[in-house]
Structure formats: C-alpha cells, structure tokens
Amino acid sequence: MKEHFFKHWVYYFVVLFFVPSIASCAGNGIPEASPLPAAIIPETVFEPITLPSLPVPVQPLPSYTSEPASPASPVFSSTAASSSTALPQLPIYPIVIIPRSSWMSKQSRINLHALVPHSATIQRITIHHTATPQRKNIPASLRGIQRYHQQEKGWADIAYHYLIAADGKIYEGRNAAYIGSSSTTYPLDNNLMIALVGNFEKYPPSEQALSALKNLVLNRLAHYHLKPTAVYTHGEQADTLCPGRYLKNWYVNQGKTAISRLFYVPLAKS
C-alpha cells in the first residue's frame, strides 16, 4: 500500500514540476517551422502589349525599357479633346503592339538628348513605307533600319513610331511621345508616323499588313480623339514617292473609305 502511494506521489510530482518546464523549452530547442518565403518576383518579361477595347481608355504606351529614363516626360495639352466639337466615346479597335525589346540589340543606343517631345498631343497620322526589302527576319530588318537612320542620317533613333510587317504584326518604333524624323520637309511635330516594312513602289503590300494598318489607324484615331481627315500619306505632305505607288493607290481608292466607314459605324448606330 505504501509502495503504491509512493509511486503515485512520484508521478504527480513529475507531472506538476517537470512537464511544464519541458513544455516551456519548446521555443528554445528546435525552432518551429518558419513561414514559407514570399514568392520571388521574376525578372521582367516583355510580352506583346494588348491595348484594351471599349470603353476602357487606352493606356499610354511604355517608355523605352532598354535605355535610361528621359530627362523629363512631356506634358500634353489635348486641344482636340477640349474642342467644342469633341467626338463621343468611340470603340477602341484592339491591337497588339510588339515592344522594342523584341527587336533591339543590346548594342543599340538612343541619343536621348536629340529626341524632342511633341509640343502638344498628336494632331495627325502619316502613312509611310520603309522602302527596304521585305525579309523574314523582321527584328533584323528593324535593327538595320534603325542603324541606317542613326549612322547614315544622324537621327536619334528609328524614324517611325510604329512599323507593320508583311504578316500584319505591329512593332513599336520610336517612343510616340517624341517627334519623328524625315529627310523631307513637312510638319513632324504632333505627327504620328506609321510605316509599313517594304518597298511599295515595286510591289503591293500584303492583305495582313493593310488590315493591321487599318486597325492601328482606327485605334490611334480614337485614342487621340481625331477624325479620319487627320490621316495622310507622306506624299500628300511632301515631295516624295513615299509610301510607294501601290500603298498610295490602296489608301486613296480603298483605305481612306474603309477607315472612314469603320470609324463612323458607332455614330450611325447611336
């Protein structure tokens, strides 16, 4: 009986005095599992830029990603948007723009100090051709055009703001916030320059390129609150064969009408 009582006394003594002290040491022994680290943010991957469809406003296109930031971002005062005849909300034709990072080489450098911001928002759109051979390797072609414009022409960057390949893909050229370049004399300030890659004095542009041109022009017209009358060919503004007789004839005989018809469809429905 005494032996049984003694065993119980020892058991209670251990429970009361030793177990709590062992439990209190849990934080000083093997540490508890720490939370999993936050997911590591991956390096920036440049994907095609998809501009939204109606009624979300189009976001500004990205600034140069492979060059230092420009000294100051231009401030635009939209005279077209503030006009008493401002256009109603029009649909934004969805387009995909392939960024400069997809075609520029690491050796490419832009003379940022030679770039001049537009004095106001875009007021007109000009259609060009590059007058270069059509090649399958478009990134290499764009690098060649940029190199020619910089080294032979002495310009800060590739002349055009957008370039359209034969397969209908649209590539980002010079930052649209800055004035383009030209060997001819015509208003460049507040002028958006779109070029189809190829020499359309010699052969006609592809249907894919023409379709992309229509969509890009319609998208930019809505974005800048402009009417189709703000669209010109290079040859309408300067003494030049650009954008080539085939592209010029298409625009005069078909393109201008198609753009106007698609532009005013929302107004006809309202």
pLDDT at 106: 66
Residue 170, strand partner residues: 97, 164
Residue 78 falls inside a structural domain: no
- CA-based nearest residue to 224, from 51, 78, 73: 78
Residue 46 falls inside a structural domain: no
Residue 84 falls inside a structural domain: no
Q: How far is the C-alpha of 159 from the C-alpha of 145, rounded, in Å?
A: 9
Model's pTM, two decimal places? 0.68
CATH of the domain at 186: 3.40.80.10
Residue 112 falls inside a structural domain: yes
Q: How far is the C-alpha of 148 from the C-alpha of 137, rounded, in Å?
A: 17
Q: Which domain holds residue 169?
A: 95-269
Split the chain (270 residues) into runs of 10 and give each run's mean pLDDT: 53 48 38 36 39 38 39 32 44 84 82 93 98 94 96 96 98 97 96 98 98 96 95 97 98 96 66
Residue 156 falls inside a structural domain: yes
pLDDT at 9: 53
Residue 5 falls inside a structural domain: no
HSE, CB side, 13 Å, CA atoms: give it for residue 47. Answer: 4
Residue 157 falls inside a structural domain: yes
pLDDT at 264: 83
Domain count, the chain: 1
pLDDT at 191: 98
Residue 3 falls inside a structural domain: no
pLDDT at 132: 96
Q: Which residues of 89-110 are buried (b: 16+ CB within 10 A; e: fewer)?
A: ebebbebebbbbeebbeeebeb
